[in-house]
Amino acid sequence: MTAKTEEIQQGIYLLKGEGKGSHNYLIRAAYRNVLIDSGLDQNFLCLQEQLLSLGLKIRDIDVVINTHEHLDHIGSNRYFQESSLIAAHRFAATKITLEDHYVTLYRSGDRNEVPLRIHLWLENRSLFDLGSHTLEVIHTPGHTSGSICIYEFKTKALFSGDTVFAGGTLSYIAESGSVGDYVNSIMRLETRKISKIFPGHGDICQNPEEDLSQAVLNAKKLLRGERGVSTSPYRPPISMRAH
């Protein structure tokens, strides 16, 4: 097991996801510790080790924000929900709490399924004031209806979940997603001043401006139904879908 962590901006750490799991990002702010996405359930031990290497226990995480409702982003929520506040956009929150497996593809695999909780139901433009960092929620439906990006004001970093990947690659349109919404969401992101994009999978976007204009082109092609639009290979694991 590798427990890789990297400080990618002041106070912001990339906790790399293994295999098909999403990356997790830790924001060690003045007032609070926030984790963006919890990754696959199977990667929990790795995540725990990554946090420990930074001197943090599970209960030291104050808030976990889910970028959307897919199992590879919410899978370890159940290990945090007793001691941390779990936050997600309300469209994601309904599916997670009502156990809409068709969309989330999530099952704990336990004999007694642990009901997942969302303590904070987010809206577009909700803010988290963490003292040294401020996080703004941008609702970016498309990949799914409950997808959000999170913008950090001080560093101008954007945590994009499965909405934008390096090179402007888009995600596939999953259940509850919409191509029209996707185009609109990406075009709204383009109006922001962004220093880096930290996606849920793959490499960090070093040239956000270029990557976002490519993403807009790709999204428009998707809308027109053109072939040859490269979408991300990061789909939830097939074995999970079969549960």
* 142 within 8 A of 218, measured Cβ to Cβ: no
- Percentages (nearest 5) of helix, strand, coil residues in the chain: 30, 25, 50
Shorter beta-carbon distance to Zn ion: residue 47 or 71: 71
Cβ 115 to Zn ion shortest distance, Å: 21
Region binding Zn ion by CB under 5 A among candidate stretches 48-56, 68-76, 213-221, 223-231: 68-76
Q: Is 162 in the site for Zn ion (CB under 5 A)?
A: yes
Shorter beta-carbon distance to Zn ion: residue 92 or 130: 92
Given phi > 0 = left and psi -120 to 50 = alpha, else beta, which region is 225? left
* 158 within 8 A of 151, measured Cβ to Cβ: yes
Cβ 70 to Zn ion shortest distance, Å: 4
Region binding Zn ion by CB under 5 A among candidate stretches 43-51, 107-115, 149-157, 158-166: 158-166
- 106-111, Cβ contacts within 8 angstroms, sequence gap of 24 or more: 106/70, 106/71, 106/74, 106/75, 106/240, 107/71, 107/240, 107/243, 108/41, 108/78, 109/41, 109/243
* 144 within 8 A of 177, measured Cβ to Cβ: yes
Cβ 201 to Zn ion shortest distance, Å: 9
Q: How many chain residues are in contact with Zn ion, going by CB under 5 A?
A: 2
Region binding Zn ion by CB under 5 A among candidate stretches 47-55, 70-78, 107-115, 118-126: 70-78
187: which 2 tokens?
Answer: 């075009």
What gap in Å lies between CA 41 and CA 57, rounded to an integer?
Answer: 17
CA–CA distance from 150 to each of 140, 165, 197 (Å)? Answer: 10, 14, 10
* 86 within 8 A of 118, measured Cβ to Cβ: yes
Cβ 93 to Zn ion shortest distance, Å: 16
Out of 20, 28, 70, 133, point to the residue binding Zn ion (CB under 5 A): 70
Shorter beta-carbon distance to Zn ion: residue 11 or 146: 146
Cβ 63 to Zn ion shortest distance, Å: 20
Q: Is 69 in the site for Zn ion (CB under 5 A)?
A: no
Shorter beta-carbon distance to Zn ion: residue 162 or 181: 162
Q: Is 41 in the site for Zn ion (CB under 5 A)?
A: no
Shorter beta-carbon distance to Zn ion: residue 162 or 211: 162
Q: Which residues bind Zn ion (CB under 5 A)?
A: 70, 162
